[in-house]
Amino acid sequence: MAVERDLFEEEQEMVAMSFGDHIEELRLRLVLALLGLVVGVILALIPPLNLGYYVMQGMQEPAQQALEAYHIRQTNNRMAAAELRETYTELPARISAAALVAALREVAPSVTLPEDDPGALEGRYVELPMQVREAAAIDMVNTNVERQKALIALRPMETVIIWFTVCIITGLVIVSPWVFYQLWAFVAAGLYRHERRTVYRYLPFSVGLFLGGVFLCYFGVLPLTLQFLLQFNIWLNVEPSLQLTAWMSFATLLPLVFGIGFQLPLVMLFVGKLGIVSAKDFREKRKFALLGITIVASMLTPADIVSMLMLAAPMIALYELGVILVDRGEVAAAKAEAY
């Protein structure tokens, strides 16, 4: 009876909380989350730390490494093809006349050459055709010609805008525990006391899953996705050149998508705890869930199969984890009621 009385009192308190009170609670949580975001952005901007600078350099590194590997692979392929053809390229060689005469005297002393006059041949050159193996010429050009940097900026303010955007994303990741706390606190305001304990218990797991998704995308998905996309350049024989805005927008948005997508098991556990959906329902609707995950992954990622699978595969595994967690929660609740 004590438990029923507590639930009745809580229900009366919740009824007393009007729609306007919920809006006020939402406003408060949004303000607190934005204040935390401001603190995170300041930490990313302040010169002693330079977090925004290092994060931006780190985001450019996968693109630069992928393009460098692309150029090296293309050069090696061209050299291998030239070796098989055994072709030679004719190049003009500019030789000092004095050096040429000296060399001829050495190899053919009987040939009549100009007399030794230091000033007669000074400043004079001859151009002779020289045959070089094509593979050696390709290697020489690849070794001595410096390539353009991987990312290019087409507008004067482009770099500044991207840098501030990266600082905002970096600040969001830094204060993500605080932002997630405010989000779950708003949700908890409309729940019973025992349901609020569930929310706060799983808050650290929510933050951990978010950061896990961000780091998986940053260190695993981005390099593999770019390497896959560059294969189309090889196939179509198109020289790649990445724009700074296009790459950084891709590199900052996709990790956030992964972090949010990794919240799936906690959302499933939450609705299971509320009694909205059971583990049996999740199992029966598994094929629809897998279809939905695939569609969402294809919509949230670029038009390539690698990034879509890299998002869909972990989310499918997390869906199965969510089913297990909901099932265990139901078993634990049944045992508690039995006692």
- Residue-level pLDDT at 276: 82
- Residue-level pLDDT at 112: 67
CA angle 77, 79, 82 (to 5 degrees): 110
Task: List pLDDT tens digits, range 145-198.
Answer: 666 556 788 888 888 888 888 888 888 888 888 888 888 777 777 666 666 676
Instruction: Classify residue 54 as left (phi > 0), alpha (psi -120 to 50) or beta.
Output: alpha
Proportion of the chain in helix, strand, coil states, percent, rounded to 5: 75, 5, 20
**pLDDT band at residue 34 under the 50/70/90 scheme:** very high
Average confidence (pLDDT) over 82-95: 77
Task: Using the structure block, give the residue that is written with the tokens 């401001």.
Answer: 38
Diameter over CA atoms, the chain: 125
Choice between 119 and 157, residue whose per-residue pLDDT is larger: 157
**pLDDT band at residue 2 under the 50/70/90 scheme:** very low
- Residue-level pLDDT at 118: 54
Choice between 4 and 271, residue whose per-residue pLDDT is larger: 271
**One-letter amino acid of 31:** V
Average confidence (pLDDT) over 15-42: 82
- Residue-level pLDDT at 279: 85
Residue 6, SS3? Answer: helix
Taking all residues of the chain, what is their mean pLDDT, rounded to a whole number? 78
